Amino acid sequence: MKKKFVILLSVIFLVGVFLTGCGSQAGEGTGQETGQETGSNETADTITIGGIFPLTSGSAYQGQSFKRGISMAIDEVNGDGGVNGAELKIIFEDDKSIPTEGVNAAEKLITQDNVSAILANFNSSVTLAVRAVTEREKVVQLTPGSTADSITEPGHPYMFRNLMPNSFQGPQLAKFVTKKLNLKNVAIIAENTDYGRSGAEQYKETAEGLGANIMAVEYYNHGDKDFYAQLTKFKNLNPDAVFIAGLITEGAQILKQARDLGLETQWLGLGGFTNDKFAELAEGAAEGMIHVSYFEPGAYEYFPESKEFVENYNEKYGMNPDMYAANGYEAAKILAEAIRMAGSGEREKIREAMTQIKDLPGICGPTTFDENGQASKGLLFVRIEDGKRVPIGSEKDTK
């Protein structure tokens, strides 16, 4: 009996050794490459960053576009030898356009995956919620897509943004519409979020300062599907134009329902409508709409550095890049440069390097961050013609 017991213990020991060995092999390199959902801690040969965007939900189109642009940039960085010899990896998380989901994603990336910095988010309300986490943990957060003014307000040293806020978008559009197009009786319908409210307020303030008459301001909730009440009110007012501060899903519904009501007017919008999916969802109702854009493929007069990017993106994904892909791509390149300047993936050194970036060349123009982490960029005005966005001017035309 004793002999059998000794044999049994020996077998258990050998099985344990075997399983331990297998476990070690399975655990090596479990961090996924670009575009995967799981990742690994930084090693001497890799630096890991995070990406948080709405990969599902109503803003998934934009989120997936950011992901494609960022992934392409990281592939290029690694193809050129990485950052100071280290491979750059990214772990993407889905915030579903929900602030709490964004917070959970940020906490996971920082505490479990030990990322060096984060690219996030699209929806301004999510970006602001995530900012509280990145600030507490002292991790750089660079947003390529959120435009609420409060994001880069003073006092948030870990927050950066590589596109212009609503306080630039809305006023520039208001100047263009009021001074160049002479449309002065305007109604506004806006998403009841940080993005929508600030966009509406900035447009209203500037337009009224130029002598325009803002006839009405109406709000709706993200996810709403019925806009007939607001649009009926607008039809009775007979405005020269209606400005929408919202995103593509609700924006397309607004335009289709306005068409149903026979509301004929000049439609205006912020940069949230800058993708091909919007015109498709609107089913022809978006024809003639004028809105803001930060990037257009083929607009080399405005973005002379973007030709190679557009060609490579087409080759890789079989489609043209939109504004979101371009901003995501540029944000990833900016962050890679900051990591290079920092000399490592150390979080505080990356933050210091971000503040030192000056006139960094990029496909959307050079990047310099001010003392609040805000980059200075230009913008375009585009008109939808035959379902395509056609540039009709830039912020230079509002002088």
Q: How far apart are CA 156 and CA 368, in angstroms?
A: 17
What tokens were used for 23? Answer: 């476990």
Paired with 382 in beta bridges are 291, 391
Topology alike, domains 46-164+304-355 and 167-293+380-398? yes
Phi-psi region of 258 (alpha: psi -120 to 50; beta: other; left: phi over 0): alpha
Report the length, in residues, of the chain: 399
β-pairing, 241-245 with 213-220? Answer: unpaired
Band of pLDDT at residue 34, cut at 50, 70 and 90: very low
> Mean pLDDT of all residues in the chain?
90
pLDDT tens digits, 194-213: 889 999 999 999 999 999 99
Q: Please answer whether residues 354 and 372 qualify as being in contact, where contact means their C-beta atoms are separated by less than 8 angstroms.
A: no
Mean pLDDT of 292-313: 93
Indicate whether 87 pLDDT > 50. Answer: yes
**DSSP 8-state symbol, 376:** P
Q: How far apart are CA 369 and CA 309, in angstroms?
A: 23
Strand order in the sheet with 140-143: 87-94, 46-53, 117-120, 140-143, 159-161
pLDDT for res 14: 38
Per DSSP, the chain holds a count of helices (H) and strands (E) of 12, 12
| pLDDT-above-90 percentage for the chain | 80
Paired with 86 in beta bridges are 83
Indicate whether 1 pLDDT > 70. Answer: no
Mean pLDDT of 85-107: 98
Q: How far apart are CA 77 and CA 81, in angstroms?
A: 7
Closest CA to 273 of 199, 207, 338: 199
| pLDDT-above-70 percentage for the chain | 89
Provide DSSP, 60-77.
HHHHHHHHHHHHHHHHHH
Q: Where are the domains of the chain?
A: 46-164+304-355, 167-293+380-398
Q: At residue 347, what are phi and psi to the nearest 5 degrees?
A: -60, -45
Give the CA diameter of the chain.
Answer: 101
Question: Residues of 284-317 as b/e, b for ≥16 C-beta within 10 angstroms?
Answer: ebbeebbbbbbbbbebeebbeebeebbeebeeee
For domain 167-293+380-398, say whether CATH 3.40.50.2300 is its number: yes
Mean pLDDT of 360-379: 95
Could you tell me the fold of the domain covering 46-164+304-355? Rossmann fold (3.40.50)
pTM of the model: 0.81
Indicate whether 214 pLDDT > 90. Answer: yes
pLDDT tens digits, 250-298: 999 999 999 999 999 999 999 889 888 899 999 999 999 999 999 999 8
Q: How far apart are CA 237 and CA 102, in angstroms?
A: 40
Paired with 24 in beta bridges are none
